[in-house]
Copies of this chain bind each other. A is one copy, B any other.
Amino acid sequence: MPVPHQLSAIIKEGEKWFLPSVSLDCVILGFHDNQVKVLVLKLKHSNVWALPGGFVLKEEDTETAAARVLRERTGLQNIFLQQFHVFGAPNRSDSNIHRKSLLQTGIELNNDSWLFQRFISIGYYALVDFAHVTPFPDENSTECVWKDIHEIGSLMMDHNEILNKALETVRLQLNHQPIGYNLLPQKFTMPELQKLYETILDKALDRRNFHRKMTAFGILKRLKETRKGGAHRAPFLYSFDMRKYQKALKQGLNGGW
């Protein structure tokens, strides 16, 4: 039995398609204008911002479900996706938000609808190449946009907590996961890489020492091109040497930042 295309049809009879009690939320991160951005949705009729989320089909792997949500919002496939935490407080859902929003969309649900039951939420973070993403709002939201992680206001329910936990996880995994590789375009400059590290670590780094250390890891290939266009000396372009990068990550890029 295929899942209907219309969100409204799915929501009305969610118990037919989805695993009960389990939802997921995605913290989709990108890097643009030297800033780390997160993809957020503006819910219809409520002006509330939320992280993109979804549910798990009855026979679907949770990982696959997250990839599906990701594809629906960004058009991207084969994305770096990592589960980072489960949010399981019994009172974390706020069914009023859904109810209000859905009601104004024209969907009326009974009080005992599956959607108003308790849900735990599995948090996933995704790292994407900003330039390749076209954000799509879903049927229940009016906007789907990138926001600077430092300029995120109040989000729905516990989504601020989810976002913060995701950012903390990324910071802790910086030496063990290919964070730089997945957030940056194929070719990037050393200052861009440094800015990415600085944003994630929330900490200024010395330009020369950063260059020295990063070079010493041996995970970068310096290309023969430079990035022209800036009103200053043109920086060299680099790309990752995936062979050595993967190898180095297994041991962890040693040393503290």
Contacts and interface: CB of A to CB of B under 8 A. Distances in A.
Given A19-B21, A21-B20, A22-B21, A122 B254 contact: no
A2 interface: no
A85 B83 contact: yes
A89 B118 contact: no
Contacts of A176: 172
Contact of A89 (B21, B22, B61, B85): B61
Given A63-B88, A251-B256, 18 more contacts: A19-B118, A19-B120, A20-B20, A20-B21, A22-B22, A58-B118, A60-B90, A61-B90, A62-B86, A62-B88, A62-B120, A83-B85, A83-B86, A172-B176, A252-B256, A254-B255, A255-B255, A255-B256
- In this complex, the interface size class of chain A, counting residues with CB under 8 Å from chain B, is 20 to 34
A121 to B, nearest CB: 10
A206 interface: no
Contacts of A60: 90
A33 interface: no
Contacts of A120: 19, 22, 56, 62, 122
